[in-house]
Amino acid sequence: MPTTLYIDSESIERINALESNADEVLENYFYTVALDESDVSEAATEHITKAIEIAEFEAEKKVLTQRINEQIKLLQARNKQLESIVRTGRIEMKDTCYKIVDYTIGKYGIYDQRGFLIQEGSLGAKERQRTIFSKDGTNG
C-alpha cells in the first residue's frame, strides 16, 4: 500500500477523493502518530508539572478530608447525645458524686454536688459485711 495518497491536493479535495475511493469510512477511529523529539520533550515537561500539581492536590485533599472527618465525628457524637436526650428525656453527666451508705436499712444513695439523690440501691452481701476497727488499728 502506498504510504501517502492525494497529499498534493487541497484539504477538501483530498478528503473527497479519499471518501469516494474508500471501501468504508471509519468515523472516530483511534490511531497513533509518531511525534518529533521537541513534542515528546514538551509532553514530558507537562507530565512532570501535572504530576506535581496532582501530588499537591492529593496532599490538600488529605488535609481537607481529615478536617471534614473530624467535623463529621463531632457532629455525630453530639447528634448521638441529642438522640439519647430525646429518647430518654435525660442527659448524661460526669461529676464528683458522694456515696452514702445506710447499713440500718441496707441501702446506699449516690448524691451529686448539689445534694440531690441521683441513684440508690440495695447493698450487696460484701457491702453489708463490715469490719469495725478500734482506735489502735485492731479488729474491735
Note the pTM of the prediction, 2 decimals: 0.46
Residue 14: how many other CB atoms lie within 10 Å: 14
Strands (DSSP E) contained in 55-130 are 98-102, 107-111, 117-122
Please give the angle made by the CA atoms of 21, 25 and 30, to the nearest 5 degrees: 130
Going from N- to C-terminal start, the domains of the chain cover: 11-88, 93-140
**What pLDDT is stored for residue 136 in this prediction?**
63
Is 90 exceeded by the pLDDT of residue 48?
Answer: yes
* Stretch 51-77: mean pLDDT: 98
Residue-wise pLDDT tens digits, 96-118: 999 998 888 989 999 998 899 99
Q: Answer whether 97's CB lies under 8 Å from 108's CB.
A: no
Q: What percent of the chain has pLDDT over 90?
A: 66
